[in-house]
Structure 1
C-alpha cells in the first residue's frame, strides 16, 4: 500500500480523535471544578442540560434519578463533542494560548446564546457578576484543559514539525537581515 505525503483525511481523523480525548479530559476537569465550587458556594447541581433537552427534543424525564442521569449524559456528551472543535482549531496550526482562547470563545459564546434561547439560563445582561464569574471559571477550566491535552497529544506531529521548520527558516532569514 502506497502512502501519500498529503493525507488530509488522515490528519482530519487524527485531529478529531485527539480532540475527543481532549474533550473527555476537559469535561472531567470541568466536572471536578463544578463539584468543588458547589461545595464552597452550596449551589445545587444545574438542570440546564435537561432544560435544553426538553426544549429541543421533547425529552421529559419522569423521576429525579432519570433527570440527574440525563443531565450527566448530556453534560459528558456535549463536553466531549466540543473537543472536536479543539481538534479542528489544531488543524489550522494554532496551539497554546491562541488556540485555547478561540476554543474558550466558541464554547462559552455558544452557551451564552443557546442557553437563554432555550430558557435554560438568563441572558448575560440579566445575570449577577458572581454567576458570570463562576461560569467563566468553569468554561476556562474546560478550555485550558482541552488545550493542554490536545497540544500534548499533538506534540511531534508531522504538521507541528513542518510549522517548526517554517518558523526556524523565518528566524534564520530574519537574522541574516539584521
Structure 2
C-alpha cells in the first residue's frame, strides 16, 4: 500500500494528538508548580476554574469536596485542551522557543481577559505585581513543559533523526553543498 506523503488530515490529526499530549504534560507541570507555591505561600487552591465553569455551564458543585474535585477536573481539561494550540503552531511550522513564547502569550493573555470577565479574578491592573509575577511564572512552566513535550513528540522517528543528523554534518563539512551546483 502506498501512503500519500502530503496528507493534510493525517498531519492535522498528528499535530492535534501531539498537542493534547503536550497539553497534558504542561498541565501536570503547572499543577506541580502551583502545589509547590501553595506549600510555600500557604495559599489555598484557586476557585477560578469552578467559578468560570459554573458561569459558563450554569451548574454548581453540590459540596466543598465536589468543588475541589470539579476544580481539578476543569483545570486538567482546560490545560490539556490548550495543547491543541501548541499542535496548531507546530503544524504551521513554528517550533522550539518561538512556538513556546507564542503559546505562553496566548494562554496567559486569555487568562488575564477571561477570569475578570467571569469575576473569577480582578483585572491585571488591580492585582499586586507579585501576584501577576507568580501567575506568569506558573504559565511559563506550563508553556515550557508543553513545548518540550511537543517538540520531543514531533522530533520524528529514530531513523529520521539519524538521517537529519547526518545531513547536518554533511552540510557543516560542505559535502552536500558541492552537489547543489
TM-score (norm 1): 0.87
Q: Distance in 1 between matches of 2:18 and 2:39?
A: 32
2:126 matches 1:140: no
C-alpha deviation, 1:2, in angstroms: 3.5
C-alpha deviation, 1:5, in angstroms: 1.8
> Which residue in 2 is equivalent to 1:150?
150
TM-score (norm 2): 0.86
C-alpha deviation, 1:156, in angstroms: 2.7
2:131 matches 1:94: no
> Which residue in 1 is equivalent to 2:11?
11
Deviation digits for residues 105-164 of structure 1, max 9, x if unmatched? Answer: 111111111110000010000000111011001000000000000000001378xx99xx
Q: Distance in 1 between matches of 2:24 and 2:138?
A: 15
> Which residue in 1 is equivalent to 2:51?
51
Q: CA RMSD in A?
A: 2.0
Q: Structure 2: 5+ residue runs without aligned partners?
A: none
> Which residue in 1 is equivalent to 2:41?
41
C-alpha deviation, 1:92, in angstroms: 1.2
SS of structure 1 residue aligned to 2:61: coil
> Which residue in 1 is equivalent to 2:76?
76
> Which residue in 2 is equivalent to 1:110?
110
- Of 51-60 and 141-150, more deviation after overlay is shown by 51-60
Q: How many residues align?
A: 166
Q: Distance in 1 between matches of 2:5 and 2:133?
A: 46
Q: Distance in 1 between matches of 2:15 and 2:86?
A: 8
Q: Distance in 2 between matches of 1:71 and 1:112?
A: 18
SS of structure 2 residue aligned to 1:122: coil
Q: Distance in 1 between matches of 2:64 and 2:156?
A: 47
Q: Structure 1: 5+ residue runs without aligned partners?
A: none
Runs of 4+ in 1 over 4 A off after TM superposition: none
SS of structure 2 residue aligned to 1:46: coil
